Amino acid sequence: MAPAPPQSSPESRRELVLEQAREVGFDLVGIAPFGPPPDARRFAEWIDEKRHGSMGYLERGRAATLDPRSQWPEGKSLLVVGLGHSRPALHLPGGGRIARYAAGRDYHNVISKMLGRLRRALLREGLASPGSGFVDATPLLERSHAAEGGLGAPSKAANLLDVRLGPWFFLGELILDLDLSPTPAPSRLPSCGTCTACIDACPTGAILEPGKVDATRCISYHTIEHRGLVSHDLRSQAGEWAFGCDICSEVCPWGSKAPDLSGRFGTHPSFEEGASPEGTLVDLLVTGAEESDDTGHRERWRGSPLRRPGREGLARNAAIVLGNRPTGAGLDALVTSLERDPSPTVRAAAAWALTAAHLEDAGVRASLDRALGREPIPEAARDMRASLDQNS
């Protein structure tokens, strides 16, 4: 490790480290102790209750999450950082919504690069020899450590809140191999008080109690992380959301005055104004359906969070949203997907959308009966039958 600046006290050293983090561009910076997160017990209970659904990596990372020192014994303190991403809502032309965080460049890439720059700066300045950098899908309970490092306070929707950015910021961390005193608690922290706007607004009732979100009921989970069929009751509740969901953040009064930071992450070409017919629900439903693998999807959404659900997940989501918009739009595309999409999940989602929005059309009814008669995958056939039973 490079030599520390002479005669620096632990506090001044901490301030020098934090200054470097601000210089790299992070909005919120702090130091937390490197050890079990304060909410470790809540995390363990949440996993034991299977609130994580099919996100197996969270269960596999249980031991490291409960005490990160078991995985990174060299760690002495944790540098926690926040990067704002507030921006106007993204409405797709012709309907459908994408969570704001996914409108532009993928924050995982942006924050990883910033952490890399910070690491090099700390080394250059002889302040620390930082270990691993983290963002998101990692065995660290990020919000808990960040709250301990003074970055914000948890809301009833479990989102960490900042007085200026509200819930509209991402988190990242850098393990440090030196003992730094934790950041003192900020003089002003947001608080929910008696407000229950997020709990009241969540259409699926995913916020079970203040601070506790059941991922298996969360629209964000179903549209981003979950593979395969979405349970029937949640399909209509997903409303306009084709990727992620911002409802609990949008209704939070703490975020209502956050600045427009869209320039930071840019806007994906498919969502630029005038890009139509790209970025429409129909486009998300049909593009790539004829391709034998996901290469085209990965290429199109390179550097974007929309890569994650794959072509099949995005097409499934688009079909569900079209079913929630009984305007006639997308009818032909839904019939085509029902008849020809190679994915049973997409065929079943198209069948659901057609039964939800277009069942009075005799041609649609005939297409559904035909599709059901020749559906080779029993699970998809069962799902189509349930859609018809529900809506007939």
Catalytic residues: 136
Residue of 221, 254, 301, 352 interacting with ligand B12 (CB under 6 A) = 221
Q: Which of 43, 265, 271, 352 binds ligand B12 (CB under 6 A)?
A: 43
Sequence-distant (6+) residues with CB within 8 A of 209 are none
Burial class (CB in 10 A: 0-12, 13-18, 19+), 155: buried
Closest to ligand B12 by CB, 209 vs 360, is 209
Q: In this chain, which stretch among 72-80, 155-163, 302-310, 338-346 interacts with ligand B12, using CB under 6 A?
A: 155-163
Q: Which of 78, 79, 135, 353 binds ligand B12 (CB under 6 A)?
A: 135
DSSP state of 268: -
User: 38, 44, 83, 85: which is closest to 63 by C-alpha?
Assistant: 44
Tell whether residue 27 is a contact of ligand B12 (CB under 6 A): no
Evaluated on CA atoms 225, 203, 245, 229, the torsion sign reads positive
- Among the candidate windows 8-16, 131-139, 263-271, 345-353, which touches ligand B12 by CB under 6 A? 131-139
Least Å distance between CB 112 and ligand B12? 11
**Contacting residue, 180, 248, 285, 381, with ligand B12 by CB under 6 A:** 248
Q: Quote the distance between the C-alpha of residue 101 and its chain's center.
A: 8
Minimal distance, residue 368 CB to ligand B12, in Å? 32
- Sign of the C-alpha dihedral, residues 146, 170, 173, 40? positive
What are the structure tokens assigned to 170, written together? 């991402």
**Exactly one of 31, 78, 157, 322 binds ligand B12 (CB under 6 A); which one?**
157
**Residues in CB range of 288: below 8 A, 6 or more apart:** 294, 296, 297, 300, 311, 315
Question: Count of residues binding ligand B12 (CB under 6 A)?
Answer: 42
- What is the closest distance, in whole angstroms, from the C-beta atom of residue 172 to ligand B12 in the complex? 6
144 belongs to the binding site for ligand B12 (CB under 6 A)? yes
Q: Indicate whether 215 belongs to the interface with ligand B12 (CB under 6 A).
A: yes
Type and span of the H or E element at 199:
helix 197-201
d(CA 336, CA 109): 36
Report if residue 158 touches ligand B12, rule: CB under 6 A.
yes
End-to-end CA distance of the chain: 70
Give the range of 21-29, 67-75, 129-137, 313-321 binding ligand B12 by CB under 6 A.
129-137
CA angle, 36 as apex, 159 and 173 as ends, to 5°? 55
Binds ligand B12 by CB under 6 A, chosen from 17, 29, 81, 99: 99
Give me the residues that bind ligand B12 (CB under 6 A), please: 39, 42-43, 46, 55, 58, 99, 101, 135-138, 140-144, 147, 154, 157-160, 167, 169-171, 210-213, 215, 218, 220-221, 224-225, 244-246, 248-249
